[in-house]
Amino acid sequence: MKKIITYGTFDLLHYGHINILKRAKQLGDYLIVAISTNEFNEIKGKKCYFSYEERKKLVESIRYVDLVIPENNWEQKVDNVKEYNVDTFVMGDDWKGQFDHLKDYCEVVYLPRTPEISTTRIKKELGLGK
């Protein structure tokens, strides 16, 4: 079984999120999604509209997702790859090069984003801030 992992905030879930999760799942058999906790988002200077538990429920309901885990800090990725025996780490291509250090542990793939949609854009248009 080929395991894939990806990370994100997944606030204000939209079709761009679904697109990237579908493409990530197509790379393997089992998709793990690590969702940033509220506390980690605060460290990153982000404020979510939905709580971690609400975002987790939303992502768990997506048919491409097999497991949702919390993302508590930047450093946990190597531990997650080892703990879950991950074969491929997937992120959007706006992060290209940022996680190449994980190539020592698994394949790293950067997928193109859906260019016309993003949570940042939605929040900006709705006047919700970051």
Active-site positions?
A: 44, 46
**60 phi and psi angles, rounded to 5 deg:** -60, -25
For residue 48, count other CB atoms closer than 10 A to its CB. Answer: 22
| Rounded-to-10 torsion of CA 95, 100, 102, 107 | 90
**115 SS3 class:** coil
Q: Identify the bridge partners of residue 35 per DSSP, sorted by sequence position.
A: 8, 70
**18 SS3 class:** helix
Residue 28 in contact with residue 4, Cβ under 8 Å?
A: yes
Q: Which two tokens mark 65?
A: 């997702």
